[in-house]
Structure 1
Amino acid sequence: MRIWQKPISVALLSESHHDTAPAHLGMEFLEVGDDFIRARVPVDHRTRQPHGILHGGVSVVLAETLGSCGAHYSCPEGFRAVGLDINANHIKAASSGWVTGITRAVHIGRSTQVWQIEMHNDAGELTCVSRITMAVLSPR
């Protein structure tokens, strides 16, 4: 079932994030399906912490970007979605390659949304699971 209420595409997502934190980290949008968005972030000099592994905060940036995009594009035209809470469970470190995240809605309501984001390394191993709760705001 298609959940998007606004036009959405990889090109639109990429353009809307030009010159933002996700872009500076090298994040790339990869795919939009009927009920999911997929993006990835490189594990490189921009995104590693001093011990040579992907910084946990970068995983959270990927999660928040994916969940926020999902919420925005699944809201009716004129409505906005803003973050209320995010959590992340870091499961396996990544020291090179890419970490790819996919987000899917857990709940899409009139005033709140909940999105789950799963992240995997290039070997397909789960590196992080995150959940974001979004508030849906009426037009001003």
Structure 2
Amino acid sequence: MPGLRTDLLDQTLPVRMGIEITEWDPKRVVGTMPVAGNLQPYGLLHGGANATLAETLGSIAGALNAGEDNVALGLELSCTHHRAARSGLVTGVATPLHVGSSTSTFEIVITDDEGRRTCTARLTCIVRRRPPGA
């Protein structure tokens, strides 16, 4: 992606949380995240970890849909946590609900290893022209 600071990739939150992107397409972005290392004190996957996975996948989808001369920036994130994950991997799938010239909205469904929905999120991105030189 143009403007991506590859020198900072190992310092990004998704890398530190173990998020791996497994599918990149403007219509579907998929990624996984380990539950281990992303827990809250009760031994359950932290809600903020769900939010990080959701925003990561939705932001990638936003960038893929924004066009070469634009950037997509997160504007609003909403997460509903349906059930707890205690181990294994969770998988998130981001799909577009709306792709426009100034905003895009994505639904991100997160499931556990057994395919059960653990979280539903919605991310709205604002689309802006890429700054000169970026």
When normalised by structure 1's length, the TM-score is: 0.85
Kindly tell me: are residues 24 and 77 of structure 1, through their superposed partners in 2, closer, same or farther at Cα, counting changes over 3 Å?
A: same
Count of aligned residue pairs for this structure pair: 129
Kindly tell me: are residues 15 and 33 of structure 1, through their superposed partners in 2, closer, same or farther at Cα, counting changes over 3 Å?
A: farther
Partner of residue 19 from structure 1, selected from 11, 18, 25: 11
Task: Mark the runs of 5 or more structure 2 residues left unpaired by the alignment.
Answer: none
Runs of 4+ in 1 over 6 A off after TM superposition: none
Q: Distance between the aligned counterparts of 1:85 and 1:61, measured in 2?
A: 13
Q: Distance between the aligned counterparts of 1:55 and 1:28, measured in 2?
A: 18
Q: Distance between the aligned counterparts of 2:123 and 2:26, measured in 1?
A: 20
Tell me, what secondary structure is at the counterpart of 1:123? coil
Q: Distance between the aligned counterparts of 2:99 and 2:92, measured in 1?
A: 20
> Shift of residue 32 of structure 1?
2.5
Q: Distance between the aligned counterparts of 1:80 and 1:64, measured in 2?
A: 15
> Is 2:32–2:90's contact at 8 Å kept on the other side of the alignment?
yes
Task: Indicate the residue corresponding to 1:134 in structure 2.
Answer: 125
Amino-acid identity (%): 36
Partner of residue 78 from structure 2, selected from 87, 105, 122: 87
Partner of residue 36 from structure 1, selected from 28, 37, 52: 28
When normalised by structure 2's length, the TM-score is: 0.89
Q: Which letter maps to 1:49?
A: Q
Matched, 1:97 2:97: no
Task: Mark the runs of 5 or more structure 1 residues left unpaired by the alignment.
Answer: 1-5
